[in-house]
Structure 1
Amino acid sequence: MTTPTTGTDRLADLSATTLLRFATAGSVDDGKSTLVGRLLHDSKSVLTDQLEAVERASLGRGQEAPDLALLTDGLRAEREQGITIDVAYRYFATPRRRFILADTPGHVQYTRNMVTGASTAELTVILVDARNGVVEQTRRHAALAALLRVPHVVLAVNKMDLVDYAEPVFAKIAEEFTAYALNLGVPEVTTIPISALAGDNVVEPSANMDWYGGPTVLEHLETVPVSHDLAGCHARFPVQYVIRPQTAEHPDYRGYAGQIAAGTFRVGEEVAVLPSGRTSKVVGIDLLGTPVDVAWTPQSVTLLLEDDIDISRGDLIVPAGDVPAVGQDIEATVCHVADRPLTVGQRVLLKHTTRTVKAIVKEIPSRLTLDDLSQHPEPGSLVANDIGKVRLRTAEPLALDDYADSRRTGSFLLIDPADGTTLTAGMAGEAFAPAGSSSAVTPAAAEPDDDGWDF
């Protein structure tokens, strides 16, 4: 007799599977939300009450069949307009893998929302309408995927049912997009012909496209290689909190708590503390109150060091033999997300990992035109959804990796010091450049600081 699976067994199975974060993108009405809804529905990841709510909403809009796009378009404004205007996150799992998906907007007006959704994604699904092929917004989304260093890109040629499932139509679109994406530096492109509305090649293989022998969308999502073994990456530990319990049992305990941003730390390893540059040795690692010999990203741990060093929130602990450049002059590519513009000379706060420092926008050398990847020189300012290059000067030294080397420690935020509004998302280093080709931070001596901002 077969033993029934318990809830505990199910949780154990899920914890043993890998996690894939992916985002969808595409032009308005290309079918992003319908694709996501089809994935959730056909993979049986939709609860009965959710499906019933979608059916009721669809009937209220005069539709005979359930509109699966409503599974992700949860905002009332989105339903009224029939477009996605915000990033809708969904969590689901199959026996082979767990997923966190971000359904991002397609309109150029919401470029900043795609940046938000794709910034942590390991895969991006870009949809195109088979009737329209590669359009301007398709090229924008490919450029953003390259800019954000998304490792895997899937081109889903949707609405194949409206072009009679014609192979030549798919082949032409796939060839054009693949050539463009690879030219941008996208490392991998997979092309799949689908019909999200009918379900062709989304979860189940299509009986209408026997000329296609590749994976379905879900099969590719379940099998695409996702490396969570970051042991070979630059090990980085931003200090979030200094723990000093001062108890009778541990009178001299001094631990540095935080989440490992990348890489692996081991007991006995020589480390450096930045920005001071002082060195020490890891003599202990506490994980959930239990001593361990090794810890890796994304675990939250407490490190204990051999020497009594002045360490506070925002300091960065790194291997002594792998120290990033430390300086006050930063060159970066940024996406401006606020409605108020970013201007030369503006005073901002720069948040990098757990460290927040004052900074000044010294220069905006160029603004990127995503249509043809041309640079508009010296724009003077960046407005909402603009992507451009900036040069910043910080009040205190910072240790930034190149974004091409580390998406976690190579990224930062610019914040309005007056009200805490997030202004800009930044990526240290050069956009579309080969990994390691540029220096994120240039060491420099501090300039006179008369009013606390002109450094």
Structure 2
Amino acid sequence: MFTNPTTEPVLARTKDQLRFITCGSVDDGKSTLIGRLLHDSKMIYHDQLKALERDSLKYGSTGNDIDFALLVDGLEAEQEQGITIDVAYRFFTTPRRSFMVADTPGHEQYTRNMATGASHAQLAIILIDARKGVMVQTRRHSFICSLLGIRHVVLAVNKIDLVAYKKECFDRIARDYLAFAAGLSFTSIIPIPISARYGDNVVDRSAHTKWYHGPCLLEHLESIDIQSDTESQAFRFPVQWVNRPNPDFRGYAGSVASGRISTGDEIVVAASGRTTRVKRIVTYDGDLVAAEAGDAVIITLEDEIDISRGDILSQPNDRPKVADQLAAYVIWMDNEPLSPGRNYVLRIGSQTISGSITAIRHRIDVNTCEHLAAATLSLNEIAFCDFVTATPAVFDPYNLNRKTGSFIVIDRYTNRTVGAGMIAFPLRGATNIAEQALSVDRRERAALKNQKPCVIWFTGLSGAGKSTIANLLDQKLFAMSRHTMLLDGDNLRHGLNADLGFSETDREENIRRVGEVAKLMADSGLIVICSFISPTRAERDRVRSLVGKEEFIEVFVDTPLEECARRDPKGLYSKVKSGKIKNFTGIDSCYEAPTTPEVHLRTVEQTLEHSAEAVVDVLRARSVLDG
């Protein structure tokens, strides 16, 4: 099929569709809101309306009024209990835009269903009961939406009629939510006071809220500028199936995950690195000149090369990552706890790979965003984990491409989907190059320098005095003819880590790179002095395990936050106070102090000179300076 060479080329059609999700706590009115939206925008057929009226009398909770929630609560159990259990999808169209909405459950036990709906959405409507304010589940759903790449939020303060349409109530809830969401990755948050039951500010502006001057819900959904980022992203084509109906035709079937490709373009098989050119782009309706994100096509190539299901085609100058170790966020979705080291099946797009979790770096408290130590994960818990795969995986970081950066975790014995993951970055590139054994080891190199190699890791809040003490230590060791190298956080961000920002993922990568560099320098026999905030125990422990426990010396520069803010050597705390800096460690981003550091410096009680000398004493006690 799809092999008629005489078909005239056609162009792919573009579609303007907004995919959004409703979420929030139980009984906040998510299903009612969607039902009201469909009804007031004239998207309900006459027979559906009659059936809705009958069901409202049987299952409804609104007296003699129509219960719009029943329009999307399709399961009988949902109708009887008045809750949403499964994800309900509805499609509707207005003159300005088409929509796909996912109504997701509010109960904590169905968080996995909510995450499923959020993974495909571009915008989230987060409902809050005007009588209750921001709830635990509101925070959990908001965090998951942010984690899953949703950047636009409508804060729907529902049941505003039950608080007499009070502006003060709306303003308080909006203020509380915006304060919580400041640490999340949302681009826009639009608060709207609504009554889903009576239709206030859903499709038409309400006369009861004359104090509100923003858009009504449908107006905002129709006008918000959410161009599909997939068209501007790098070309990715996961191969779903090799189509070979006869000896004269070989094509590769799938959907374009992102970007655009044209006939004649050069492409590469990401895993193998083999390059060729696109010969034809075939569809049932005829050949295309070009294909773009969302188009289901068959691609034929100029050359015969080995390609199978799971391979990803890309452009040679912008290839995805290929690695057998990766770091990813995981939402655990099974009643049976996660088992680190256990073999699971990872499905990344069309790739099916055996893999396991080697370490849980930290579990995330979705209410406070705090990083917590964890040995396992229970149902609905979220963590940042390290994975290893049996064969190389092809992927993009999730923040760059949601289609090629997400995966599901499958129990290989029960075939249940037990988790969902979002890839942050590769830990090691997968290659066929074996590690080269070296004839001269690190201790022999260090012996030439009359010292033992080690990594001295200064950690503490900004302004604690880490860099100053580290510099004094470097001077003292230099005066003793020791061979050292000082790695400072600010300096490395001008070079090695200049491409990194200050998101959680970038901060993790910053410390990972520093750890690798410190290890290499220690391997050359140096005493490596590192000065980094490194706020989480997990990332510091990772460097410790990389370098070796005996050669890693953690120095906790313990200075109270108030004293750091008073010193403010770089003016950062002033910028935080004025709102110019968000997610600042110690203020609105947590710092996990070391529990058992090798050196504990209290800078309020001792001078900088005494602090540096205390580290030298530890180096002598550990025979680092004895040679």
Matched residue, 1:428: 423
Report the alpha carbon displacement of residue 338 of structure 1 after superposing the two structures with TM: 2.1
- Give the secondary structure class of the aligned counterpart of 2:116: helix
Give the partner amino acid of 2:180. Answer: Y
State how far apart, in whole Å, the 1-side matches of 2:30 and 2:231 are. Answer: 35
**Cα root mean square deviation, aligned:** 2.0
Give the partner amino acid of 1:28. Answer: V
**1:8-37: CA deviation from partner (whole Å, max 9, x where unpaired):** xxxxxxx98621111101111111111111
Matched residue, 1:93: 93
**1:223-282: CA deviation from partner (whole Å, max 9, x where unpaired):** 1112136332021001112223335xxx3x322111111111122222110211112222
Q: Does 1:105 align with 2:175?
A: no
Does structure 2 conserve the Cα–Cα contact (< 8 Å) formed by 1:405 and 1:435?
no
Does structure 1 conserve the Cα–Cα contact (< 8 Å) formed by 2:237 and 2:254?
yes
Does structure 1 conserve the Cα–Cα contact (< 8 Å) formed by 2:344 and 2:354?
yes
Matched residue, 1:175: 175
Q: How does 1:2-401 map to 2 (within 5 A)?
A: 18-61=16-59, 63-228=63-228, 230-246=230-246, 251=248, 253-288=249-284, 290-377=286-373, 379-401=374-396
Give the partner amino acid of 1:121. Answer: A
Report the alpha carbon displacement of residue 310 of structure 1 after superposing the two structures with TM: 0.8
Higher RCO (C-alpha under 8 Å, 6+ residues apart): 1
Q: 1:404 aligns with which of 382, 385, 399?
A: 399
Give the partner amino acid of 1:413. Answer: I
Give the partner amino acid of 1:356. Answer: T
Give the partner amino acid of 1:433. Answer: S
Give the partner amino acid of 2:424. Answer: G
State how far apart, in whole Å, the 1-side matches of 2:255 and 2:15 are. Answer: 22
State how far apart, in whole Å, the 2-side matches of 1:434 and 1:390 are. Answer: 14
Comparing 298-307 and 120-129, the one that deviates more:
298-307
Report the alpha carbon displacement of residue 288 of structure 1 after superposing the two structures with TM: 2.6
State how far apart, in whole Å, the 2-side matches of 1:140 and 1:427 are. Answer: 17
State how far apart, in whole Å, the 2-side matches of 1:206 and 1:52 are. Answer: 26
Does structure 1 conserve the Cα–Cα contact (< 8 Å) formed by 2:59 and 2:79?
no
**Structure 1 residues 180 and 323 mapped into 2: Cα distance closer, same or farther (>3 Å)?**
same
Bigger fraction of residues in helix: 2
Count how many residue pairs are aligned between Structure 1 and Structure 2: 420
- Give the secondary structure class of the aligned counterpart of 1:364: strand
State how far apart, in whole Å, the 2-side matches of 1:238 and 1:304 are. Answer: 14
Report the alpha carbon displacement of residue 436 of structure 1 after superposing the two structures with TM: 7.0
Give the partner amino acid of 1:301. Answer: V
Does structure 2 conserve the Cα–Cα contact (< 8 Å) formed by 1:404 and 1:435?
no
State how far apart, in whole Å, the 2-side matches of 1:229 and 1:327 are. Answer: 25
Matched residue, 1:445: none
Does structure 1 conserve the Cα–Cα contact (< 8 Å) formed by 2:151 and 2:185?
no
State how far apart, in whole Å, the 1-side matches of 2:59 and 2:323 are. Answer: 58
State how far apart, in whole Å, the 1-side matches of 2:404 and 2:166 are. Answer: 45
Comparing 279-288 and 142-151, the one that deviates more:
279-288
**1:406-432: CA deviation from partner (whole Å, max 9, x where unpaired):** 1110001111122321111110017x9
Report the alpha carbon displacement of residue 61 of structure 1 after superposing the two structures with TM: 4.5
- Give the secondary structure class of the aligned counterpart of 1:380: coil
State how far apart, in whole Å, the 2-side matches of 1:158 and 1:403 are. Answer: 32
State how far apart, in whole Å, the 1-side matches of 2:99 and 2:420 are. Answer: 25
State how far apart, in whole Å, the 2-side matches of 1:290 and 1:193 are. Answer: 49
**1:370-396: CA deviation from partner (whole Å, max 9, x where unpaired):** 11111221x222222111122111111
Report the alpha carbon displacement of residue 341 of structure 1 after superposing the two structures with TM: 2.0
Report the alpha carbon displacement of residue 153 of structure 1 after superposing the two structures with TM: 0.5
Matched residue, 1:452: none
Rg larger in 1 or in 2?
A: 2
Q: TM-score, normalised by structure 2?
A: 0.64
State how far apart, in whole Å, the 2-side matches of 1:246 and 1:106 are. Answer: 51
Does structure 2 conserve the Cα–Cα contact (< 8 Å) formed by 1:328 and 1:395?
yes
State how far apart, in whole Å, the 1-side matches of 2:287 and 2:228 are. Answer: 23
Comparing 396-405 and 333-342, the one that deviates more:
333-342
- Report sequence identity in percent: 47
Matched residue, 1:3: none
State how far apart, in whole Å, the 1-side matches of 2:508 and 2:324 are. Answer: 16
Matched residue, 1:451: none
- Structure 1 gaps of 5+ residues are 1-14, 443-455
Report the alpha carbon displacement of residue 438 of structure 1 after superposing the two structures with TM: 6.8
State how far apart, in whole Å, the 1-side matches of 2:253 and 2:226 are. Answer: 28
State how far apart, in whole Å, the 2-side matches of 1:112 and 1:260 are. Answer: 27
Report the alpha carbon displacement of residue 49 of structure 1 after superposing the two structures with TM: 2.1
State how far apart, in whole Å, the 1-side matches of 2:368 and 2:217 are. Answer: 29
- Structure 2 gaps of 5+ residues are 1-12, 426-501, 513-627
Comparing 413-422 and 189-198, the one that deviates more:
413-422
**Structure 1 residues 17 and 281 mapped into 2: Cα distance closer, same or farther (>3 Å)?**
closer
**1:157-195: CA deviation from partner (whole Å, max 9, x where unpaired):** 111112221112212211221232232121111110111
- Give the secondary structure class of the aligned counterpart of 2:209: coil
State how far apart, in whole Å, the 2-side matches of 1:171 and 1:396 are. Answer: 53
State how far apart, in whole Å, the 1-side matches of 2:79 and 2:243 are. Answer: 48
Matched residue, 2:454: none
Report the alpha carbon displacement of residue 289 of structure 1 after superposing the two structures with TM: 5.5
**1:102-155: CA deviation from partner (whole Å, max 9, x where unpaired):** 111112222211101111001100011112222222222221111111121000
Report the alpha carbon displacement of residue 433 of structure 1 after superposing the two structures with TM: 3.3
**Structure 1 residues 61 and 320 mapped into 2: Cα distance closer, same or farther (>3 Å)?**
closer
Q: TM-score, normalised by structure 1?
A: 0.88
